[in-house]
Amino acid sequence: MPVKNRFAELHDDITAIRRDLHQHPEILFETHRTSQVVADRLTAIGCDEVVTGIGRTGVVGVIKGNSDKSGKVIGLRADMDALPIHEATGLDYASKTPGAMHACGHDGHTAMLLGAAQYLAETRNFDGTVVVIFQPAEEGGGGGREMCEDGLMDRWNIQEVYGMHNWPGRPIGSFAIRPGAFFAATDQFDVVIEGKGGHAAKPHETVDSTLVAAHCVTALQSIASRNADPVDQVVVSVTSIESSSKAYNVIAQRVHLRGTVRTMSAEMRALAEQRLTAICQGTAATFGAQADVTYHKGYPCMVNHDEQTAFAADVARAVAGSCDDAPLVMGGEDFAFMLEERPGAYILVGNGDTASVHHPEYNFDDAVIPAGCSWWAEIVERRMPAA
């Protein structure tokens, strides 16, 4: 089964929705206009239930099939939020909000799921119930966690859940997926090193916090090279070094390190936290300084479930003719919270030769729409075939 003909007919309409959302990006949980556009559209296409305010500004639509002998309920999730980036595409439908843009394609995800919802509401050619989930605050806010904590899965008795993300560099409309760990856990850390400041001409009277910080930055790389099993991925990156001194001739009293840790297993995540703390505190003590370490746990590792991944890949092959093995991704994805609550799978759909996500020149390619919509619709019709 190739791309569904109905999505060719709806392509212009779905594109118009996508470009409208692109012009009005909203960040984190502030997706008020976007959520209203989604809710209005779901109501207009005849969803059986439309609920707003799930996970603060999330939206849920319920579509019942022509029958419900199976009792199955499947969730389909799209993210809605934009990024705090100033757009540099020069498009005629570019962002109208300075300092905000859809630089990750969530406008495309939302539009494609709205298109799939319209088709499913029109045809209802399935036995069961589909719940379309529109989530805010994927970009660092944990909107997926908030929707789950708001009772998303239990309220609608969702049994499986599926998500999708566009992927620059892959051919338009092609698919890739992998079972098991897929996207990394994304943690952050702050290390404040307290030494003894003084005059740069009298270093012997100081405890040089900058020197301590430099040793910490170097030593932290031993987590990956000497503590981690070489086949268990971990990335430790110090991304900011800020000294309390701005003068040329003053040795700083204090240095603040910031950074991120990316891991692919719960065991490595725990090890990285333990070693980071021990290394920084031990290194500081060696020089007579102190290190205050704060470790912030972010999104967990996103883990695709084996059976649902195999099914999602079969659907992708039906739509596109093939489905590739996806690589591990050290970026984070808060669909992880939904996959911790219910079995499901997350797939990548090609966005062509475009700028990478989180780049000011990125743009979702509207040619992806028919393939993305078809995959979501086929997930429902194949998982819950009409009685």
Best CA proximity match to 201, nearest among 137, 260, 251, 135: 251
| CB of 337 closer than 8 Å to CB of 145 | yes
Residue-level pLDDT at 355: 97
Helix (H) / strand (E) element for 215: namely helix 209-220
**Percent helix, percent strand, percent coil in the chain, to nearest 5:** 35, 30, 35
Structure token pair of residue 361: 């020149």
Phi and psi torsions of 61, nearest 5°: -120, 140
Burial class from Cβ neighbours inside 10 Å (0-12, 13-18, 19+) for residue 88 reads: middle
In whole angstroms, give the CA distance from residue 302 to residue 282. 32
Phi and psi torsions of 300, nearest 5°: -75, 170
The residue type found at 255 is V
Residue-level pLDDT at 3: 72
Positions of E strands within 2-96? 49-54, 58-64, 73-79
| CB of 228 closer than 8 Å to CB of 221 | no
| CB of 49 closer than 8 Å to CB of 73 | no
Residue-level pLDDT at 2: 63
Structure token pair of residue 189: 């850390």
Positions of E strands within the chain? 49-54, 58-64, 73-79, 129-135, 160-167, 175-177, 180-183, 185-194, 198-199, 234-243, 250-251, 254-263, 290-299, 302-304, 324-325, 344-350
In whole angstroms, give the CA distance from residue 292 to residue 46. 55
Residue-level pLDDT at 203: 97
Best CA proximity match to 295, nearest among 342, 260, 249, 248: 260
Residue-level pLDDT at 387: 87
* All residues at 6 or more sequence positions from 26 whose CB lies less than 8 Å from its CB, including other chains: 32, 33, 34, 80, 81, 82, 97, 100
**Going from the N-terminus, what domains does the chain have, and what CATH number goes with each?**
5-181+301-383 (3.40.630.10), 185-299 (3.30.70.360)
> Would you give the distance in Å from CA 271 to the centre of its chain?
24
Residue-level pLDDT at 1: 45
In whole angstroms, give the CA distance from residue 190 to residue 270. 17
The residue type found at 119 is Y
pTM to 2 decimal places: 0.95
Pairing of strands 344-350, 160-167: parallel
Pairing of strands 185-194, 254-263: antiparallel
Rounded mean pLDDT for each run of 10 residues along the chain, 387 residues in total: 82 98 98 98 98 98 97 98 98 98 98 98 98 97 97 98 98 98 98 98 98 98 96 96 97 98 97 98 98 97 98 97 97 97 98 97 98 97 96
